[in-house]
Structure 1
Amino acid sequence: MPRGGRGSGGRGSAPKVRPVTELARIDIAKALEDFRADPNASELEFPPNVDNHFRAVVHAECKKLGLKSKSHGKGDDRRVRVTKAEAFRPDDAEDLFDLGLGARAAAAMEEYFEKAPQSEAEIRRSVAGSVGDFDGDGEREARVKTKKRSYKGGVEMRGRAIDAGEATRRADALAGRIRSDAALGELQKKRAALPVAKFRDDILNAVRNHQVTLVAGSTGCGKTTQVPQYLLDDAWASGSGAAIVCTQPRRISAMTVSERIANERGESIGQSTVGYQIRLESRVAADCSLLFCTSGVLLRKLTSETSDKTCEALTHIIIDELHERDLFADFLTIILRQVLPKHPHLKLVLMSATMREDLFSNYFGGCPVISVPGFIHPVTEYHLEDILPMVGWGGTHHTAVGAKKSDGPIVNAPTSGSGVDVMREAIMRAFLEDTDESFDWLMQCARESDPQGLSYVNVCHSTGATALMAAAGKGRQMEVSQLLGLGASPAMRSSDGSNAADWAERFGHIELAEALRSVDDEDDHAGSHEQSALLLSNYQLSIDPDEVDIDLIHNLIVWIVRERTVDEKSEGAILVFLPGWDEISKLRDSLSADYNVCRAASILPLHSMVAPAEQRKVFQRPAKGMRKIVLSTNIAETAVTIDDVVFVIDSGRLKEKSYDAYSAVSTLQAAWISQASAKQRRGRAGRVRPGECFRVYSSSRYSSFAEYQLPEMQRSPLEELCLQVRVLAESGAGVVEDGPGSTAGFLARAIEPPVPQATENAVQLLKDIGALTNDERLTRLGRHLGELPLHPRVGKMILYAALFGVLDPILTVACAAAYRPPFIISTDGRRTGDIARAAFSDQAGGGSDQLAVTKAYEAWERVLRDGGRSGERMFLNANSLSPSTLHMIKGMRQQLVQALIQRGIISDLRSASVNSQSGALVRAVLAVGMYPLVGRFLPQCKAPTLATLRGERVRVHAHSVNGKVDVAEISSRRESGEKIATLCCFDELIRGSHAVQVRECTLVAAAAIVFVCAKLTVRPDVPHVDPETGEEIPRPGPPSALLVVDDWLRFRVPLRAVAQITVLRLRLQNAFAMKVEHPQEMLPKDIHESVRCVSRVLADAADELLNRHGGGGVSFARNVGGGDYGGGRGGRGGGRGGRGRGDGRFDGRGGGRGGDRGRGVSNIPQPRR
C-alpha cells in the first residue's frame, strides 16, 4: 500500500480528476462569477482550511474566466488569492527586430521613388503615422451622398392590398382542397386538437384591438405553426389581404416550419401562399402572403433606405422564439418599438415560451399576453442519482456502504493486515498534524481495499477513532464529504462512545456536527436514499465534471432500448442533447459499434453543419420495429419539434461562444445550461404520449443553474450590430440620434442592454478601421461595409483584396470565417483532416490555415467540374472535408460577388482577381483584414506561443498548421545580428477551459503590418554607449532609425528606407480611399504605380519569410490590375514547396523551380534568382 505524499490530483485518482465534491465545485464557480461581476471588487481570497485539490479546482475555474490566481502561504495557512486581469502591456517594448526586407524590395523602392519622389508635405503627413481619413481629403467629412442602392436580399412580398374578391377566392380554394383531400382533412383535425386552437379567438381579438400582442405558449402547443395561419385566414375571411413576415432564429427553423405550414394547407412550398427566405436560398412565389425568414433578413430590410416602404406593405410581423434572445431579434425589438407609432396599421405579434412574459410585455407598454398551455402528457424526470442505479453503475467502493445505523452499525471493514496498520498510522498522523499532506495521505489510504475487496475507509485506530472522526474533529468539510462518498459510517463510535458528529462538536465545528447527525438520524427509507447519494458521490469523484460522460449515456440508451420494449413506449424516439459536434460524433460512433443498438435503431445527428437533406430525416418516422435516436445540440431545444420523441436524455451542457468585453476575448467552452433550457428540453418528451426525461446531472446541480441564459446581446462582440445602428441612422427612419455616444444610447434601449464596455470596444474598432468618424457618423467605407453581410474587419479585407486584385481567394477566406472552415476533425483517431490541411497549406507556401482553406476550395471546385459526384466523394473522404460547408461557402461567395457588383466595387470577379496566384499579396491582404489581431512567435517557448499587440501570451491550437512550427528556426538572426520577428495574424482569440488560444492563423511578413497598422512612429536610433568609457559606439552600416508599430514592435530600418516606407504607406492609404470613394473609376497612374510598388515590397518580404519557414514558392504579382504570374522559388530545404502556375515544383531539398511565366501585360520585371 503506498504511503503519503501530495499528488497532482491525488494518487489513485483518474488522470485530471480532482476528488472535489460537486457542491464544493458549485460554490467555487458561484464565488468566482460573483467576484468577476462586481466592478468594485479587486481581490478574492479563499480560506486556508481547504486541500490542494480544492485549490487546483479554483485555479482551473479562474483560467476559464480569465482571472488570475495564485497560492501563497505555507502549511495550514496556504490559501488561494484571485485577482482580475490588469491592463495589458505589450512585452516587446524593449525588443528590436529586423524588418525582413531583401535587396529586391530596396531596389523596387529606389526605382519607384526615382520616378515619383516624395514631397515635403507627404513627408510631414507620413511622419504623423496614423491611419488617414478614408473619405479622402483629410478634413472633409463623409457627407457627400453617393447614389443609394436598396438592399436586394431583403423581404420581397406583394403589398397588403388585394380586393375582397381575391381574398374570398383564396379562402374558397383552401376549403376546396381540404374537402377533396382526405389526408389534408386529417391534418385539419390534428390542427384543431392542438392546445393553441382553443385560444384562436382570444389571439385574433387581441391582435385586432392592440398593435402589439404577446403569445406565450408552452412547448408543443402549436403556436409557431398555427398563429400565422390564424392571422392569414382571418384576413381572407374579412375580405382583405395579408402580408405576414414571421422571423425565426435559425435557417433550419424557417425552412421546416414553412414547409410544415404549406403541407397543412395542401400547397407546395414557394408555389403559392407560403414561402421562406434565408441566406443563399429563397422559395417565394409572386403571390406569397406568409413569408418565413431569419431575423437577419428582416433586419437588413428595416435598416435600408426602403424600410418605410417595407413597413407600409406589411400587415403583420411575427417574431417567434423571442425567449431565445438572439442578437438580431433583440435588435429588431428596439427598431420596431420605435417605428410602430409611424405605422399604426402594422401589427406586431411576439411569440415566446412561457417564461419572462412580464419582461416582454412591459417593454411594449404592457401589451396583452395570451398564455397557451402545452400538452398535458406527463413527463417523468430522472436525475443522475436515479440514473446510476438504473444502468448498474458500480464505483469501486459503493457496495461497501455501511448498513443500518443503530446501536451497533453493521460495517464491513478489514481488521488486520499491513494495509490496516498503514491506515491506522494515517489516522493518527492526520489528527496530530492536521496538514494538507497528512490528510492527502489519509484520503489515499481510505480509497484502497484489502485483497478481499474490503475498503479501508472504516478501519478503526486502537482508540476506536476512524478517518471520518479525524476529519470531523479538524473541521475538514471536504474530506468529510469525500469519506462519506467512499462509504464511511457516521454511526461508528470510538472507545469513549463518541461518533463523528460528537468529535466535530467537541472541537467547535457545530455546523459540521449537525450535518453529520442529519445523516446519522435517517430512517430505513432515508438509508436507501443515502446509499443513492453515496453512489452519486462516488461517481462524481471518479469523472471529469467538465466532460460529457459518453459511456454513461451509451449505457442509458441501452437500458432504454432494453427496458422500454414491452409497453406503448417501445417505438418512441430518443432525443439526446449534447453540447457539440465532437460529443455527437463520439456517441454516434460508440452506438454504431454496438450491434445490439444499431441493428434496431436509426442513429441521426442533428447539427447546423449537417446538410439540410440529412437534417430533414430526423422528422421522418422510422421503419416499423426500428427506434429513432436523434443526437442533437440545443438546436432541438426550441428551433425544431420532433413529434415522436418519448425519451429525452439531457447532458445539461451546451457549447457556448461568448465574449468577454473587459478582455476583448471570445470564449468557447462547454457550459451548463439554464433552468429554463432544462425545462424546454424536458418538454420535448411526451409529445404524443407520456414521456421520460433523463437528466445526466444531479438535482443539486440543477438547483445551481442560472434561471435563464444570458441574452446574446450581452455575450457577443457588437461590431456588426453597431455598424447596422449607424446604417439605420442614415436610412431616414428617424430612430437613431447623431453624435458621440449615440450608438451606445440606441443599444441601451434594448430589453436587456449590452455591457457598456462591449459597445465602446465595438465603436472604437469601427473608428480604427475607418468605418466611423469620431462623432460616430458613417464614412464611405462604413457605408460599403454596412451593406456586406460580414464582420466589418473582414469587409475591409474584401475591399483591399479588390484593390490588389486578389479577391477570389480572399472571398473564400471571408466566407469560411463567417461560416466555418470546411475541414472535419476525425473522430476515429486518424489525422486525415490535419494532414490534408497541412498539405493544402504547403500548396500556398506553408504556414497558413486560411490559405489552406482557399486551396482546398479550389481543388474541390476542380474535382466537382472534372470528376463528377463520384470523384467528389472520393476527394472529400480523402481530405476530411465537409460537402455541406463547401457548398455553403460557394453560395456565400456568389452572394458576396453580387453585392460587390451591385455596389459598383467590382465589375466582375475575374478582373478583381488577376493577382490571385500571388501568395505574397494574399497574405498581405489577410494581415489587413485581421489587424490588430497579430502576434509574434516567442522562440523561448517550447510550444508555439504568440505575444500579441495587447500583451497577451496565447497558444497556437494543435490543429493549426502552425501548431507544431519550429519557432527557434524561423526566428533566427540575420547576418547583421538583428533578430527576426516571426509574425502571425489570426481572426480571433478564444479562451478555452485551460488557456487563451488561436485556432486558425497565417504567417505574415512584418512589412505587411507596417503598411496597415493604425499607428507608425519614427524614432531615432540611439547609439550604444560603452558602460566603462561613456563613449558612443558607432553602429555598422548605413544610418538608421526605428519604425515603431502601434507602440509595440520596433524595427531598425535604414534611414533612406524609412522615408520611402512611410510615404508609400501614405500613398497606399490614399489609393484605398480613392477606391472606396470612386469604386468604378480606374486609379490615376501615379496612385496605381504606388500600389504596384507596395506589391513588389510585400512579395519580397513574403519570399524572405517563407524561405526561413522552409515553405514553397511565393508567386509575384505580374500586374496590379491585370495579368497572371509565375510560380515562386522553393524554400530553403526541408519543407515542401508550393505549386506555381504551370509546372512549378519543389523537390524538398531547396531545389525548387518556378512555373511558367504568366502572359499578362506588365512592366514589373521578374525577380532575379
Structure 2
Amino acid sequence: MEAMVRTAVSEAKKDAACRILGRLSSGVAQVPPQANANPEITLQRAGLPIAAYREEILNTIGANQVTIICGETGSGKTTQVPQFLLEQATTAGKACRLICGQPRRIAAVSVSERVASERGEELGGTIGYQVRLESRTSLKSLLTYCTYGVLLRSLMAGDTALASVSHVIVDEVHERDRHCDFLLLVLRDMLARCRGLRLVLMSATADLNTLTNYFRGAVIINVPGKLYEVEEFFLEDVLRITGYEIPGSKKPAKNQEAVDSQTIEKLDEAMEAAWDQGSDENFSRLLGLLEGRSVDHRHTYTQATALMIAAAKNRPDVVTQLLSKGADPSAVANNEFTALEWAVECGYENIAQMLREYIESGSPQVVSQDQERLDTYQKEAAAADDSIDHNLVATLVAHLSSKGDPGAILIFMPGYEDIVGCSEKIHEAMTSVGVQYKVFMLHSNINTSEQKQVFRVIPERKIILSTNIAETSVTIEDVVYVIDSGKVKEKSLDAGTGICQLKCMWISEACAKQRQGRAGRLQPGQCFRLYSRQRFQWFTKHATPEILRLPLHELCLAAKLLAPFNTSIADFLAKAPEPPPPLATRNAVNLLKLTDALTPCEDLTELGQHLVNLAVEPRLGKCLLFAILLRCLDPVLTIVCTLAHKEPFVLPQAPYLRKSSSESKRRLAAGTFSDHMTLLRAFQLWQESRSKNRDRKFCEQNFVSHAVLEMVTGLRAQLLGQLRASGFVRTRGGSDLHELNQFSDNWAVIKAALTAGLYPNLARVDRDHQQLRTRTEAKVRFHPSTVLRDGGDYKNTLTELPSDWILYEEMGRMGRMCHIRTCTVVSPVTVFLMAGPSRMAYDPQFDGEADEARCQLAAELESDSENEDEPCRTLLRLDEWASFRLEASNARALVQLRQKLHSLFLRRLKGPAAQKVSSQGDDQVIRTVVSVLTNEEKSLKLPQPLGIGQKPRAFDFSRPYERSTDSSSATSSPCMSPNSDSSHTSDSAIRYLVIKNGSLQLLHDAVASGHWTFTPNTLRSIAKAQREGKTVVVIFSVQGSGGFQGYARLGRPEMATCPLQWLKVGDVPFQAARHLLNPWHNNQRVQHSRDGQALEPRVGEALCQLWDRLPPHPATLPMPHFVSESMPQSFGGRAIRGNYDPYRPRNKYY
C-alpha cells in the first residue's frame, strides 16, 4: 500500500513539474469509456455539418498517416473530430490517446470544457486541457487540448513524449503561427519514425497548396459550414448610418501641417520598399498610407509618385486603383519621366496602354456623398492609420443597442490598450441609450476563468471586446453583430538590423472573412468594417507566416533539442513549410553564440538549456539568471517583464501635454541617466498608489498605461514560477527570496545584471568626433523617447554623459539615421566584468609590450579621455569591438575577478537546485564584484536612487476596502461567529482554505446536509490547524463556474467528512476578487487557488467580506435554513470602486 502511495505521489510530482515547465503530463493509451451524453446534446451534434462526414473522416484517418480537414466556420470540426475518434475507439475496444494543439490558451480551455460537457463528463477525466501554468488532466485523460507551445515543449523532451499517443491534431493551421509551422516541421520528421501515429490538420481557410506540397500523400476532406447570411457594411456606410462626426472636427486644425509632415518620412520609406521589392505587401502598405492623403504624394528626393512606381513595376491592379482615386498621370519625376514614360521605358506595354486610354478619356469621376463623407473623415481623423477611433466604435455600439434587436456585439480590437480605452468610451456612450448591457473582454493575457464568462447566455446586451483571439480560436454562439477595426498587432523583424517592432497592421483578406463569419451563427448577422471598400481591396490575400517576420532565437534554441544529430539549425529550419530567410536564421544563431547560449559548433551550453525553459527571449532570460547570481532578482524581474511585454508609457494626443509626459519620465529616472530606471519606478510607484486606491490618478499624471502594468504583474508571477521549477528559486520559504534580493537596493548591481544579458546591445561615445557608435553602425542617435536626450544641442547631450558606455534595448532605423531606445549609462568596469561570453576564447589581457598597432587601436576605442601622452601599457579586449586601456595591476585584478565571477555563474548553471547555500569563497566573489561596481559608480558621480529594492506589493490589506464609494466604515466580517456583530480583524486564529469542487450538485447537497467530504491532503491541513487551536473557514468554488459560491466554518472531522456551519451562500464572481493576491501562493490571484489552498489571513478575511459588499443578484445555491437570520440574504452594498460591477450596467469604470 505504501509503495502505491509513493508511486502516486511521484507521478503527481512529475505532473506538477510538467505543468510548470509547460509540458504535457504523462499518460497511457486506454479504451475510452462510454460517453454519458444528454439526448438533446446528441441531437445538436447530429445537426452540425461535419456529422454527415463522420464515416469519411474516420475511414480517411484510419487509412492515411496525414489527413487535412478544411472546415468552414461553424462546421464543428474542433469539437467533433476528436469525439469521433474517441467513440470509434470505444466501439472497437481499442486503446487511444489524443493530443489536440490550439493556438491560444483560451481556445484549449473553452473547447475542452465544451467537449467534456457534450460527453456528460467532468473536465479532467477523459477530457482535459493543459496550458502554461494551468492544467486539468489526470491519468485517465485520453483527449488533451493544449497550446502549440505546450506540445512543442513536450516534443523537445524526445520521441518518448508521443510514445503513448495515437493521434495528434493540429487545429487552426491557417493562422501560420511560428510555433505551428515549427510544429509541422517536427511532426513531419517524427512521422517517419512513428509509423502508427496519425496526424490530423484542421483549419477554416487553409492554404491547401502549401500543406499538400509539404505533406506528400495527405488526403483532404472539405466540410461546408452552416452560416446564415451576413450583411456587410464598410466605413463609408457606418459614417452614413451613425451620422458620426469626429469630436472637435469643426474647429480649424492648427497643427495639420505638422501632423502631415510627420508622415512624409514613412511614405518615402514605403515608396522605396515598393520600388526595391515590388511585392504585394509593399504596395499594400504604400496604398494604406496614401488613404486619406494626396494620392499624388511625391518622394522627397526623386519626386516620383506611387503611380510611377506601379507603372515601372508592372502592377496593373495598383495602377487601376490609383487612377480610380484620381492619380495624375501627367506628374513628372526628377528624371522628367511620367508614369506612361516609365511603363514604356520598362517595356510594360499593357500598363502603357492603360495610361494612354485614361489620358485620352479625360472624364472626371463623380464622387458620391458617401465618398465625400469618407474623404472628410479620413482627412480630419487625428491618427487615421495607426490608431482606432474609439468614439466611432462607441457611437456604433450605441446605435445598434438603441434599435432593440437582440444579439451580442463582438468588436475586434488590435490590443489590450484599445480594448480598455474602447470599453470606457462605450460606457460613456451607453448612458443615453437606456438598455441593460455587460461588457466582456477577451485577450490572451486575461485570466482564463474571467474569459469564460463571455460564453454565458445573459438577458442583457452582451458587448465583447476582443483581439483576434475570437477570430477562429473560440466561438460565441449568440453573436449577431461584428465590428471589425481591421487591425491586428504584429511583430516584425528587420533581418538586416536585427530589430523587432510591434506594429498595428492591417489584417489580410482571409482574416477579414473569418471575422465576418463570427456573426450569423444562430440567425442572419451584420458585419461593420471600420475601413473603406477600397482599402479592403488592397488587403493581402493571406497573412504573412510568423516564421518569416519574427525573431528566431527561441526556435533556434528549440531546434537544437529537436534536430537530428549533426544537423545545423539553418538546415533544420530550411525544412519548414515556408523557410525563414537565411539571413534571419544566421543572425539569430550568431546572437545566441554571443549570449553564450550556443557553442561555436551550435551545441547548447548549460545556459542555453536553462534559457529554453523560460518564457522570455534568451537575452532577457540571461538577465534574470545573472540577477539571481548577483542577488538583485526582484527589480530585474520587473524590468525584464516590462521589456518582454512593452513599455507602459503612452504618448498623449494633445501636443501641449507631450512636454509634461517627457518631464514625468525624467522625474522617474531621478537623474540616473536610465530608461530602465523609469520602467522600474513606474511599476513600483504604480503598485504603491494602487494600495492607496490612487492608481488611476497616478497613471493619468504620469502618462502610464494601467493595462500594461497589469500585464507585467501577471508575467512576473509566471516567470517566478518557472525559476522555481528550474531550481534557481526555492519552492518553499521566503528566506531564499530574501537572500536573492540582498543587493536589490544597489542600482549598480542591477545594471550589471542587465548588461550581462543585453550584450551585445552596447553603444559608445566617441568623444573626439562627438558621435555615438555601436558594433554595426558608425553613427547612431538617441531615440526621442529616451531620458538621455534632453532636447537641447545633441553634442552637449553627449558631452554631459558621465560615462562613454550606453546599454540599450533595441535599435531601429528612422529614415537614414539609426536610433537606440530604452538606454542606460553604465560604467566601463561594468561592461568589462559583465558583458560577453562567460567562456572567453582567449585571454582578454595583453601585456605592456604589445605592439604599437594594438596600442593605437586601443587609443581609438578607449572609453575615457586620458592624457594622450600617457603610455599604453595594457590593453583589455572584450571582443573585436570593445577594448579598454588601463594600468597593468588594475587590469590583472579585473581579469581575475571576471574569471572568478563567470566561473561561479557556470557552476550555478550546472546544478542550481543543489546550490542551496553559497560557500564563503563564492560569497566573497559576489561581495567584491558589488564593491567594485559601486565604487566605480561613485567615481563617475552616478547617483544611487533610494527604495528601488522594495518588495513588490501584492495588495495593501490593511485598508482593503477604501475603494468603496460609501464613506461609512467597512461592515464586520462574520467569520468568527455567524451572530457576531463585532469587527473581525485579521486574527491568525483563523485558517482560510479554498475548496475547488467539480460539481455544483455536490455543493447543493452539502448546503442541504451541512457536511462535506475532503481529500486526504486537505484533511491533514484541517487537522493540523485545529490541533493548533485555529478555527477553519472553507471557501467553495465550483470548477468552471467563474466564481465563489459561499463559505462555511468547519466542525471536528468525522473520518473524511466534516460538519459545515454555513456562514454565507451566494455567487461572488472572480472579477470582484481579482485585486486579492495570496502571498501564500506566490502572490497569485485567489481564483487561481488549488484545492485545499490556504489563504493568508488578511486575504481570507477580505475575500469573505465580498459577500457583504456585492450588489443584489440571484444565487446559484439555495440559502440553507440553518444560516443565522441576522445575516442579510440580499448581500446589499455598493460595488467596489475601481472594479467593474458585473451585475449591472454602468456608464464608466468607477
Task: Give the TM-score range, shorter chain.
Answer: 0.5 to 0.7
Q: Is 1:693 paired with 2:527?
A: yes
**Deviation for aligned residue 1:262:** 2.6
Whether 2:456 is the aligned partner of 1:623: answer no
1:351 Cα shift?
0.9
Measure, in 1, the Cα distance between the counterparts of 2:322 and 2:185. 51
Given candidates 283, 289, 292, the residue that maps to 2:145 is 292
Question: Partner of 2:605 in structure 1?
Answer: 779
Alignment of 1:976-1055 (within 5 A): 980-989=802-811, 1000-1014=822-836, 1035=868, 1046=879, 1048=881, 1053-1055=886-888
TM-score by length of 1: 0.61
Once the two structures are TM-superposed, the CA of residue 764 in structure 1 deviates from its matched residue by: 0.9
Specify the alignment match of 1:162 in structure 2: 30
The answer to whether the 8 A contact 1:822-1:885 is kept is: no
Q: How does 1:20-31 map to 2 (within 5 A)?
A: none
Residue 226 in 1 paired to residue 86 in 2?
no
2:551 equivalent in structure 1: 717
Aligned partners of 1:549 and 1:895: how far apart in 2?
36
Q: Structure 1 stretch 553-562 or stretch 871-880: which is displaced more?
A: 871-880
State the 1:684 CA deviation.
1.5
Q: How does 1:352-367 map to 2 (within 5 A)?
A: 352-367=203-218
Shift of 1:777: 1.8
**Is 1:588 matched with 2:423?**
yes
- What's 2:403 paired with? 565
Conservation of the 8 A alpha-carbon contact between 1:1071 and 1:1088? no
**1:914 Cα shift?**
3.3
Instruction: Tell me the residue number matched to 1:1061.
Output: 894
Match of 1:607 in 2: 443
Instruction: Give the direction of change, closer, same or farther, for the CA distance of 1:382–1:720 in structure 2 (3 Å limit).
Output: same
Report the CA distance between 1:821 and its aligned residue: 6.0
By how many angstroms is 1:322 displaced?
0.8
2:937 is the alignment partner of 1:1102: yes
Candidates 549, 553, 563, aligned match of 2:392: 553
Structure possessing the higher radius of gyration over alpha carbons: 1
Secondary structure of the residue aligned to 1:231 is helix
For the residues of structure 2 that align with 1:348 and 1:630, how far apart are their CA atoms?
34
Which residue, 352, 357, 376 being the options, matches 2:227?
376
Correspondence 1:329-348 to 2 at 5 A = 329-348=180-199
Counterparts of 1:153 and 1:1042, CA distance in 2: 44
| Counterpart code for 1:1012 | M
Which moves more between the two structures, 308-317 or 907-916? 907-916
- Given the superposition, is the C-alpha separation of residues 389 and 857 from structure 1 closer, same or farther in structure 2, using an over 3 Å criterion? closer
Letter in 2 for 1:515: Y
After TM superposition, the structure 1 = structure 2 runs for residues 434-513 of structure 1, keeping only pairs within 5 Å, are: none
* Inter-CA distance 904–550: structure 2 relative to 1 (3 Å threshold): closer
Do the aligned partners of residues 1101 and 153 (structure 1) sit closer, same or farther apart at CA in structure 2, a change above 3 Å counting?
same
Amino acid at match of 2:140: D
- Name the structure, 1 or 2, with higher relative contact order (CA <8 Å, separation 6+): 1
Q: Quote the Cα distance in structure 2 between the aligned partners of 1:326 and 1:1000.
A: 28
Distance (whole Å) between structure 1 residues aligned to residue 89 and residue 663 of structure 2 = 59
Amino acid at match of 2:809: D
Kindly state the Cα deviation for residue 660 of structure 1 after the two structures are TM-superposed.
1.2
**1:838, 1:961 within 8 Å by CA — same for their partners in 2?**
yes
Could you tell me which of 199, 202, 222 is aligned with 2:53?
Answer: 199
Do structure 1's residue 301 and structure 2's residue 154 form an aligned pair? yes
What is the CA–CA distance in structure 1 between the aligned matches of 2:799 and 2:357, rounded to whole Å?
Answer: 69
Per-residue CA deviations over 1:1073-1115 (Å, capped at 9, x if unaligned) read: 344345546888777655543332211223345x346855999
Structure 2: gaps (5+ residues): 1-16, 250-306, 331-339, 341-350, 858-865, 951-1150
Counterpart in the other structure of 1:920: 748
**1:796 alignment partner in structure 2:** 622
- Deviation, 1:353, is 1.4
Structure 1 pair 517–773 and aligned structure 2 pair: CA distance change class (3 A):
same
| CA drift at 1:1054 | 3.8
Letter in 1 for 2:144: L
Percent of aligned pairs sharing the same letter: 35
For the aligned residues, what is the CA RMSD? 4.9
Which residue does 1:1137 correspond to in 2? none
| CA displacement at 1:901 relative to structure 2 | 1.1
- Give the distance between the partners of 2:102 and 2:448, measured in 1 at CA: 16
**Structure 1 residues 955 and 583 mapped into 2: Cα distance closer, same or farther (>3 Å)?**
farther
Please give the alpha-carbon distance, in whole angstroms, between the structure 1 residues aligned to 2:500 and 2:778: 13
> Cα deviations across residues 437-481 of structure 1 (Å, max 9, x unaligned)?
xxxxxxxxxxxxxxxxxxxxxxxxxxxxxxxxxx9xxx9x99999
Does the 8 Å CA contact 1:939/1:968 hold for their aligned counterparts?
A: no
| Aligned partner letter, 1:1010 | F
> 2:696, 2:370 → 1: CA distance?
51
Deviations 1:150-172 (A, max 9, x none): 89635445644436xxx4xx315
How far does the alpha carbon of each residue in 1:493-522 deviate from its partner, in whole angstroms, 9 at most, with x for none? xxxxxxxx9xxxxxx998567436768498
**Secondary structure of 2:130's match?**
strand
Spell out the pairing of 1:761-840 with structure 2 (5 A cutoff): 761-819=587-645
CA spacing shift, 1:294–1:908, aligned 2, 3 Å: farther
Q: CA deviation at 1:664?
A: 0.9
Q: Which residue of structure 2 aligns with residue 1072 of structure 1?
A: 905
Equivalent-residue separation in structure 1 for 2:645 and 2:605 (angstroms): 27
Q: Which piece of structure 1 moves more, 194-203 or 1107-1116?
A: 1107-1116
> Which residue type is aligned with residue 981 of structure 1?
S
254 and 541 in structure 1: CA distance in 2 versus 1, 3 angstrom threshold: same
Runs of at least 5 residues in structure 1 that lack an aligned partner in the other structure? 1-148, 179-184, 399-470, 491-500, 502-507, 730-735, 1025-1032, 1117-1169
In structure 1, the partner of 2:496 is 662
Q: 1:59 corresponds to which residue? A: none
Counterpart position of 2:1032: none
Q: What SS does structure 2 have at the residue aligned with 1:313?
A: coil
629, 632, 646: which one aligns with 2:480: 646
* Matches of 2:54 and 2:766, distance apart in 1: 66
Q: Which string of whole-angstrom CA distances, capped at 9 and with x for unpartnered residues, describes residues 294-331 of structure 1?
A: 11111111111xx3332111122111111111111111
Cα 1:312/1:597, change in 2 over 3 Å: farther
1:1074–1:393: structure 2 CA closer, same or farther, 3 Å change rule? closer
Alpha-carbon distance in structure 1 between the residues aligned to 2:870 and 2:132: 58
* Per-residue CA distance 1:640-661 (angstroms, 9 max, x = gap): 2222222222232222111111
Q: Is the 8 A contact 2:66 2:199 kept in 1?
A: yes
Partners of 1:990 and 1:996 within 8 A in 2:
yes
Aligned partners of 2:423 and 2:439 also within 8 Å: yes
Kindly provide the amino acid, as one letter, of the partner of residue 713 in structure 1.
Answer: I
The 1:1009–1:745 alpha-carbon spacing in structure 2 relative to 1, beyond 3 Å, is same
Equivalent residue, structure 1, for 2:278: none
Give the residue type in structure 2 aligned to 1:623: P
Question: Structure 1 residue 247: deviation in Å?
Answer: 1.2
Contact 2:234 2:529 in 1 (8 A): yes
CA distance in 2, matches of 1:896, 1:151: 10
Correspondence for 2:565:
737
Superposition TM-score, scaled by structure 2 size: 0.62
Is residue 936–residue 984 contact of structure 1 (8 Å, CA) maintained in 2? Answer: yes
Please tell me whether residue 756 in structure 1 is matched to residue 594 in structure 2.
no
User: How far 1:395 moved relative to its partner?
Assistant: 11
Q: Does structure 1 conserve the Cα–Cα contact (< 8 Å) formed by 2:594 and 2:760?
A: no
How many residue pairs end up in the alignment? 820
The residue number in structure 2 matching 1:1124 is none
Flag the 1:555–1:913 CA change in 2: closer, same or farther, 3 A. Answer: closer
Change (3 A) 1:862 1:674: closer
Mapping 1:829-868, distance limit 5 Å:
842=670, 846-851=672-677
Deviates more, 1:712-721 or 1:646-655: 646-655
Q: In structure 2, the residue corresponding to 1:668 is in which secondary structure?
A: strand
After alignment, is 194-203 or 544-553 more displaced?
A: 544-553
2:34 to 157, 160, 171: 171
Is this contact kept in 1: 2:395–2:429, CA < 8 A?
Answer: no
Tell me, what secondary structure is at the counterpart of 1:716? coil
